[in-house]
Amino acid sequence: MKNLKKRLKQGETLHGCWLNTGSSLTAEIVGLSGFDWVLIDLEHGAGSEKDVLYQLQALEHTKTAAIVRVESSESQRIHRVLDMGAEGIMCPKITGPEGAKKVVQGLHYPPDGGRGVAKMVRATGFGLHFNEYYQEAKENILGIAQIETVEVLDHLDEVAAIEGIDVLFIGPADLSMELGIFGQFDHPRFKEAMRETVNAAQKAGKATGILFFNPEDYQTYHDLGIRFIACGSDATFVADGARNLAKKLDSFRSITKPGHS
C-alpha cells in the first residue's frame, strides 16, 4: 500500500483528482502524472465495479494511491472494492455518527469492523499475502466521510471522533445545494460550514479534504487548514484540452481563409 494514512498523520498535504470516465487508460495517464491519490467515482462516474478493477490494475505500477467513492455505506459495496485492492473508501451523504460508524464497519476486519474475510482476492495477492494484508489493513486503509448534508453539520465533532474515519471531505456542490446557496462558495454560510468541518477534524487529529476545479483557489483552502486536496478530474482534463485545442485551431483557420490579409 502507498501510505496515504501515514502521510496524512504526519501532516503532509496530499494532492488528488477525480476519475469519473471509467477508463483504465485515463486512470493510468493520471496515475503517471504525479498525483498522490485519485478517486475512482462509483457514485456519479460512468464506470461500474468491473471498470474499477481495470482502473486499479492500471494504477498498480504508478505511485498514485487509489481511493473509491462507493454509492452507499452498505458493507457489500465497501467489501467488494477493498477486495479488488482499493486503498481507501469515500462514502457520500453522511448525515451523522451512525452512518459514519457503518462505513467503518465495512472498512475493517473484526474486531475493529465487520468486513468479511476472503483470501483469494486481488488485494491479498490471491492468497499469497493475506497475513501481511490483514496486519497492515487497519493502519493503511483510509476512511473518508463526505460532509455534504445539512444534518451532518450538527454532528461534526461526533463523526470526526470515530476511529476509522480519517478524513472529513467537504462536497462543495451538494453542501452548497443543501444550504440553499448552490455554487456560492464565497457565501458566509458555506465558509462557516468549512471552518466548522476543519475545526472538528483538527480537534480529533483528523484531516479535512475538498474538491475544487480552479487551481487558483488552492491557497484559500490550504490556509483554512485543508490538507487532502482534489482538483479536477480526468473528464475535465480531456474536455478542457479538447476545447482549448479546437478553439486554437479555429483561430488559425480564420486567419488562413482565402482573401484574408
For residue 78, give the nearest of 177, 164, 14, 181 by alpha carbon.
164
First to last CA, the chain: 61
Interacting residues of 43 by C-beta distance below 8 A, sequence separation 6+: 69, 70, 71, 92
**Set 44, 61, 129, 222: catalytic member:** 44
Strand 65-69 and strand 88-91: pairing?
A: parallel
Reading the block at residue 231, the C-alpha cell is 482538483
CA angle 179, 98, 188 (to 5 degrees): 20
How far is residue 57's CA from residue 50's CA, in Å, rounded to a whole number?
Answer: 11
Residue 108 annotated in active site: no
Instruction: List residues with catalytic annotation.
Output: 44
